[in-house]
Amino acid sequence: MWQQTIGARVEFEGVGVHGGQPVHMALLPAAEDTGIVFHRVDASGFRHEIAVSTWSAPAVDLATIVAAPSGVHVSTIEHIMAALYAMDVDNVVIEIDSDEVPIVDGCASAFVEGLAAVGTIAQAAKRQYIRVLKPVRVETASGFAEYRPYAGTRFEVEIDFSSRAVGRQAFAFDLSPKTFRKELSRARTFGFLADVEQLWAAGRALGSCLENSVVIGHDQTVINPEGLRYPDEFVRHKALDAVGDQALAGARVLGCYHSYRGGHKMNALALRALLSDSSAYELTERPARRAGGARHALPAAAAAPVFGPFTL
């Protein structure tokens, strides 16, 4: 029930998946009620503060972005946000010298291991929760997303692709640090070679490669030499993204989130629909009992490692 921050500074290095430029990012402990705040450090050393919330994040498809009123932004934050949310970290300052979070190997495992290395510290303020009181649903021509009341934090994610390499897959779970670390954190972002080639031609996705993405070739097979990390890695990555996008709520959500053919944009629209309806949720300091028993604590460590550098 108590807010938590990290036990020490922890650093990550890599490249941005879209710009392909080097990135240095550091997570710092923060005081109670700080939330997650990015400090975008520009070339002059000036820090642009960007508070993370669903209202500071435009609803777009390819990545999750947060922006300050000035227009300064940081993109591709979904994997670090998922790690923080799943591993029960409430308050942290994220220093970053680029407008993209490092893609590392395309998932959240490096961030989870970095957080585990420095551990967490319980703080004096109680954690606030968003309890879902009634169903809230958004729909598109091809899919939907909804929140439903549930005694815990649950995700039910379904995808449906015409590609035979992906097809229709579903993955459901109650969120806990143990489940996220074991079942989701290593699931990588994925895409189709034809789409990546178009993005490269347009000067985008310059940091994308087989070391940080699962790529489906023109023959509709996975071209990564090592294959998949999970048989259903595609839907697990979509679930990982959904966890990161829900973290923009600013408090833990007690409810079930179900999406069919969703993505970053639909995740954002569903969360906004929930928070825009004051009759659909309540704020509470008393969480529902989590299925599966006790909460899993992160181990403490004396030193904060640097993860990287990432090599294309």
Phi first, then psi: give them for residue 122, nearest 5 degrees.
Answer: -70, 140
Annotated binding-site residue numbers for Zn(2+): 79, 237, 241
Residues annotated within the binding site are: 79, 237, 241
Instruction: Please tell me which residue in 18, 73, 258, 264 is annotated as part of the active site.
Output: 264
Dist. CA 127–CA 35, nearest whole Å: 11
Q: How would you write 170-188 as a 3-class SS string?
A: EEEEECCHHHHHHHHCCCC
* φ/ψ (deg, to 5) at 290: -75, 130
Distances (CA, A) of 98 to 38, 164, 218, 221, 251: 11, 37, 33, 34, 26
**Angle of the 233-246 helix axis to the 264-276 helix axis, nearest 10:** 40
Q: Is 264 a catalytic residue?
A: yes
Residues classed as catalytic: 264
